[in-house]
Amino acid sequence: MPEIKLFHEIKEIGPEKWNNQRTTDYPFNRYEFLFAMEESGSVTAKTGWQPLHIELSDGDHILAYMPLYLKNHSYGEYVFDWAWADAYHRHGMDYYPKLVSAIPYSPVIGQRLLTQLDPEPLLASIQKLLPELCNQVQANSWHFLFPEDREIESITHPELLVRKGCQYQWFNRDYTDFPHFLERFTSRKRKNVRKERQKVIDHGITHRKIEGADITDQELDKFYDFYRITYLKRGQQAYLTKQFFHLLRELMPENLLLVMAYNGDEAVAGALSLKDSKTLYGRYWGCLEEYDSLHFETCYYQGIDYCIEHKLQRFDSGAQGEHKIQRGFEPVPTWSAHWIKDVGFNQAIRNFVEEEAEAMDHQIEHLKSYLPFRSAE
């Protein structure tokens, strides 16, 4: 059985050890991304995300790393378990704290167990050690969010519950340009998208795509103002600090794309995405004031243009948003796994996720009927 060691800060591990276990260029499990979260104060015990990153070793050699956090709330996860927490509360029980293996504030599918070895036996070891691990930090559950398919297929422990969700993603089918992509649409849906794009032009708004290394301090600060204001409009505080975005540009500029919208010379909106060699990940958005169709243009259509131009295979637009379907983003399943310490609640939640999965299957098939593509497509 491998040995488990917990780290309260990722900088205790260091970039070389952590990144040496990665097997893809997926940006969200990079040391630099997680370090920026912690160093900027966005992810700390004070914000309810206490890092407890896992190191697996055989005593002599490091076998794997996994991001892990001790949490006292469910914000910033996007696999919603508020109803579970409420049920605990109504029964006079504590749902929190809980352990979460995830990328904070980032509902993006990707590798969660970083290893150069076969992940299946290592994940099996972690599953066996869950009761001991939760007791060690006095947690009542463990949650494994947005893992790769092969990782979720390695979930074999009988007490672990697998939950199915849904997101919307765009796929590049060798399009040469945006009009080529629209050729797949029905005439009415194609006309709607063209109208949306024209509305932004009619507002006098133009867009610039800025690669990470070319983003200036002024542009990044302006984007952050938009991002923060958008949260304030909803009566909320922004999750991420300005320093987080500056650290991203400093530490991993090759993974950043900023789309800025201008009304004349004045910047009015921005969308910051991450990217790797295959995928664009739409992540952060903000605007100074609302313009009809500006959000769709800045966050989606400009991203699709970029993917086609740079031959990226996929555009992961983030959580939620059925409005994305009519714009060519297809519903795809997402996964999570959950270990619930209390036996009674484990069974109750098992019943819930099984019923939810069946409903989700039907929902995904139903949502596909709203895609804008011609029936022959």
pLDDT tens digits, 49-91 = 999 999 999 988 999 999 999 999 999 999 999 999 999 999 9
Q: Are residues 144 and 179 in the same domain?
A: no
Give the whole-angstrom CA distance, residue 128 versus residue 327. 44
- Across residues 249-269, what is the average pLDDT? 97
pLDDT at 229 over 60: yes
**Per the structure block, which two tokens stand in for 238?**
């922004």
Asked if 154 and 237 sit in the same domain, the reply is no
pLDDT score of 377? 57
User: Is 375 within the bounds of a domain?
Assistant: no
Average of pLDDT values for 345-361? 96
Query: What is the residue-averaged pLDDT of the chain?
Result: 96
In a domain, 321, yes or no: no
pLDDT at 157: 86
Which carries the bigger pLDDT value, residue 303 or residue 154? 303
Same domain, 90 and 177: no
Residue range 112-127: mean pLDDT, rounded: 94
Q: Which residues pair with 161 in a beta bridge?
A: 338
Query: Is 373 domain-assigned?
Result: no
Shared-domain flag, residues 145 and 243: no
Question: Does the pLDDT value for residue 261 go beyond 60?
Answer: yes
Query: Does residue 43 or residue 319 have the better pLDDT?
Result: 43
110 and 182 co-located in one domain:
no
Examine residue 293 and state whether it is found in any structural domain, yes or no. yes
Q: Determine, yes or no, domain membership for 13.
A: yes
200 with 181, same domain?
Answer: yes
Distance CA 261, CA 287 (A): 9
Residue 203 in domain:
yes
**What residues are paired with 331 via a beta bridge?**
168
Residue 152 has pLDDT above 90, yes or no: yes
Which H or E run includes 133?
helix 119-137
Percent of the chain with pLDDT over 70: 99
pLDDT band (50, 70, 90) for residue 322: confident
| pLDDT of the residue at 308 | 98
* Whether the Cβ atoms of residue 339 and residue 162 lie closer than 8 Å to each other: no
282 pLDDT exceeds 60?
yes
E strands, the chain, in order: 3-7, 49-51, 53-57, 62-66, 69-71, 98-101, 141-145, 160-171, 205-211, 256-263, 266-275, 279-287, 314-316, 330-340
- Evaluate if residue 376 carries a pLDDT over 70: no
Do 181 and 294 lie in one domain? The reply is yes
pLDDT band at 289 (very low <50, low <70, confident <90, very high): confident
* pLDDT reading at 319 higher than 90: no
In a domain, 320, yes or no: no
Confidence (pTM) = 0.96
Do 190 and 160 have their domain in common? no
Q: Per-residue pLDDT for 290 more than 90?
A: no
**Within a domain: 129:** yes
| Domain shared by 179 and 159, yes or no | no
Region 149-170 average pLDDT: 93
Q: What is the average per-residue pLDDT within 242-271?
A: 97
Where a domain ends, among 312, 343, 360?
A: 312
Q: How many domains does the chain contain in total?
A: 2
CATH of the domain at 147: 3.40.630.30
Domain extent for 303: 173-312
